[in-house]
Amino acid sequence: MRILWIYAHPERHSLNGTLLDAGLRTLDSLGHEHRVSDLYAMDWKAVVDPADFGGPGAEPTAPGRERLIVGAAQERAHGRGELSADIRAEQEKLAWADTVVFQFPLWWFGPPAILKGWFDRVLVQGFAFGLKDEAGTTLRYGDGGLAGKRALIVTSVGARESSFGPRGIHGPIDEVLFPLLHGTFWYTGMTPLAPFTVYGADRMTPAGARATTEALGDRLRGLADEEPLRYRHEQGGDYDADLVLRPDVAPGRSGVAAQRLDARDRVGAGH
Amino acid sequence: MRILWIYAHPERHSLNGTLLDAGLRTLDSLGHEHRVSDLYAMDWKAVVDPADFGGPGAEPTAPGRERLIVGAAQERAHGRGELSADIRAEQEKLAWADTVVFQFPLWWFGPPAILKGWFDRVLVQGFAFGLKDEAGTTLRYGDGGLAGKRALIVTSVGARESSFGPRGIHGPIDEVLFPLLHGTFWYTGMTPLAPFTVYGADRMTPAGARATTEALGDRLRGLADEEPLRYRHEQGGDYDADLVLRPDVAPGRSGVAAQRLDARDRVGAGH
C-alpha cells in the first residue's frame, strides 16, 4: 500500500507525535510505502489567496485585476499547471497514495485551521471534483477525482467517549465529522473509514497511551480489509433530480444519519 | 445593539461583499453600532503557533523550551495578558458586542481556514470557556464566557436549497453546521440563530441578489426578537453524569438532531 499521512499538530513531542511515530513503524513493518506531510513543520500556508493561482493573478493588490472567483481561479490555475508549488506537491502525493491518514487534534469540533486550509487549497475543482464521465455526468459522492482511495481520520479529544456517543452531548463523532467524512472524502470519491478517536487525550496515562498506540497499530494492520463507512452514491438511484432522497429510501428518516447506506436498518435504533 | 461582523471572504467585490455593505447600511439605519473584522483585509493569521502566546514561548524554535500544550499555553497567556495583540483585539471586540455575525462562503462544508483559525486562536480557555460558577461547575453549552450574545451565520453555497434540506444529499444545513452552531456558539454560551444561507450563489441573477439582500435586511431588522435555535443546557437536567441524554429525554432518538430542545416534537417528522 502507499499511504500519505497528513499530520496537523503543532507539537511533535506529544501523544499525537508518539502515535505518528508508532504508526509509521507499523507501516514499515508491513512493508507499506508512506510519505508524511507534517503541516506545521512544513509551515504550510493555510489561507486561500491569489498567490495560490500563479500568473498575473498572483499579485493580490494589482490595480485593475479582475475580481477573484475562488473556484474558477483554482480550476483555471490547475488546468494550466499554475497552482503554487506547495499545492502541486500535495496533489502529487495524493495522486500517488491509495490511502490517506489525516491526524489532528479536534479543535472546535473540526480540523485545525492549518488542515482546513489544506483541504481548501489542495482539493481544487478539476482535480478532486468537478470531473465528468463520458455521458457528461458530474462525478461526486462516491466517485470523483480521488475515487478508489481510502481515508482515515486519527483525532484526539479531551472529552470522554460517552459524550461523543449516539446520545452524547457533543453529538456522535461520525456526525460531528460529517463535513469531512461525507462532505470532503466521500464527495471527492474517497472511501471514509470509521474515525480513530483518542478520547481523554488530556488525561492520558502512560498505560493508556500504550493501549492507544496498540489499538492504532491494529487499525493500520487491518487497513486494506476494513469495512468502511457506507454512504450513498449520488448516482446510485437513491436521490431524485433535486438531490433529495426518494420517498422509498429510508422512509421517514432525515438528517445526516439518513445519508448512511445502513440508515434503513437503524430506524429501530432510533436514528 | 452592538454588532461585531466577522467577514471571511477573499473578495470584497462579490455577492458576499454586497451583502456585507447592505447589511451594515441596514444596521446604520436601525441605529445599531457595528464593528467589522474583515479577516482577509486584516491579513489575519490563521494558524495557532507559539507566537500567539508571547513571552519566552514565543520563540518556536528555542532550544530546551517545554513542549507545547496548546490549551494550557492559551489559557496561561490569556491570564497573563500575553496573548498576541491581534488576538486580544478580537477578544476586546467580542466582549464589546452583544451580537456576532459570521459571514463566509461554505468551503468543504465548513468555514474557510482563515475563519477556522479565528475560532482556534481567539476563543481560548479562560476567556470563552472553562469558566466556573460559584459552586465550581464548569460553564458550558448554554453558559460560558460568551453567554448572552447572539450569533448569526451568513453563508453562501453553490448548491440549490433542496440539497441542504432534511433529506438532501449534503445534509440539513443546521446539522452540517453543528460544529459551529452547537459546538462553538452554544458551547461558549452564545445563542445560535438559524443560519442565513444563500443558495445557488454561483448562478445568482441580479434580481436574485436583490431579493437576497432584502431578505438579509429583514433578518437584521428582526435580530433582537428572533426566535433562536434551541439546544439543551448542559446544566438543564437533560444529561446524566456521563454527559449522555437521560433515557426519558427524547426517548429513542439519537444523533446531533437529538441535541435540539425541540427534538421530542420532531419524532413524527422523522428526525
Q: pLDDT tens, B209-243?
A: 999 999 999 999 999 899 999 999 999 999 999 99
Give the mean model confidence (pLDDT) for residues B134-147.
Answer: 95
The tens digit of pLDDT for each residue in A161-208 reads 999 999 999 999 999 999 999 999 999 999 999 999 999 998 999 999
Q: Is B228 an interface residue toward A (CB < 8 Å)?
A: no
Residues in contact with A205: Cβ distance below 8 Å, sequence separation at least 6, in sequence order: none
Residues of B in Cβ contact (< 8 Å) with A67: 11, 13-14
Look at residue B258 and tell me whether its pLDDT is greater than 60.
yes
* Residue B245 touches partner A, C-beta closer than 8 Å: yes
State the pLDDT at residue A67. 83
Q: Extract the residue ranges of chain A whose pLDDT is less than 50.
A: 57-62, 265-271
What does the pLDDT read at residue A65?
A: 59
**Is A243–B169 a contact, with Cβ atoms under 8 angstroms apart?**
yes
Averaged pLDDT, B45-52: 96
Q: What does pTM read for this prediction?
A: 0.95
pLDDT band at B63 (very low <50, low <70, confident <90, very high): low
Q: How far apart are CA A22 and CA A213, in angstroms?
A: 7
Q: Does A243 touch chain B (CB under 8 A)?
A: yes
Contacts of B255 in chain A (CB under 8 A): 166, 171-172, 175, 255-257, 271
Looking at chain A, the whole-number percentage of residues with pLDDT higher than 90 is 90
pLDDT at residue B103 in the model:
98
Contacts of A234 in chain B (CB under 8 A): 169
Report chain A's C-alpha Rg in angstroms: 20
Q: What are the backbone angles phi and psi of residue B192, rounded to the nearest 5°?
A: -80, 135
User: Whole-number mean pLDDT of chain B?
Assistant: 93
Q: How confident is the model over B104-132, as a mean pLDDT?
A: 98
Q: Which three cell numbers stand for residue A116?
A: 482546513
User: Which chain A residues have a beta carbon less than 8 Å from that of B251?
Assistant: 270
Percent of chain B exceeding pLDDT 70 equals 93
Q: What does the pLDDT read at residue A268?
A: 39
User: Which residues numbered 9-68 in B keep a CB inside 8 Å of some CB on A?
Assistant: 10-11, 13-14, 40, 46-50, 67-68
How confident is residue B183, by pLDDT bands cut at 50, 70 and 90? very high
Q: Is the reported ipTM for this assembly greater than 0.85?
A: yes
Per-residue pLDDT at B167: 98
DSSP string for residues in chain A: -EEEEEE--S-SSSHHHHHHHHHHHHHHHTT-EEEEEETTTTT---S--GGGG-SGGG-TT-TTPPPP-HHHHHHHHHHTT-S-HHHHHHHHHHHH-SEEEEEEE-BTTB--HHHHHHHHHHS-BTTTB--B-TTSPBP-SS-STTTT-EEEEEEE-SS-GGGGSTTBTT--HHHHTHHHIIIIIITTT-EEPPPEEETTGGG--HHHHHHHHHHHHHHHHTTTT-----B--TTTTSB-TTSBB-TTSSTT--SGGGGBTTGGGGTTTT-
Q: Around Cβ A196, how many Cβ atoms within 10 Å?
A: 20
Report residue B57's pLDDT band, with 50, 70 and 90 as the boundaries.
very low
Q: Do A109 and B166 touch (CB under 8 A)?
A: no
